[in-house]
Amino acid sequence: MQLKCSNCATPFVLSKEVLAEAIALFKENKTAHLNVNCPKCRRPVRVVRKTLEMNPIYRKMLESEPEQS
């Protein structure tokens, strides 16, 4: 999933590991957002849960999660 830093406008990609952490966090806490640090300026970038839910890779990982348990 590709994001753009709101401070320095640098585009960067969220890895599958970060998406897996987001799935665990959202299932556990039901939080509304996830903060990810920009690789260039190191400022937090807010990723809203609805944005992640629209991502097809996130959906696929969410559906395959119960099979791994």
Task: Tell me which of 40 and 31 has the higher pLDDT.
Answer: 40
pLDDT at 37: 94
pLDDT at 5: 94
Q: If you write DSSP's letter for every residue of 11-61 in order, what string do you get?
A: EEE--HHHHHHHHHHHHHH--SEEEEE-TTT--EEEEEHHHHHH-HHHHHH
pLDDT-based confidence at residue 10 (cuts at 50, 70, 90):
very high
pLDDT at 11: 96
Say which residue the tokens 């970060």 belong to: 18
* pLDDT beyond 60 at 60: yes
Task: Tell me which of 21 and 42 has the higher pLDDT.
Answer: 42
pLDDT at 31: 73
Count CA atoms closer than 13 A to 44's CA, side-chain side: 6
3-state SS assignment for residue 64: helix
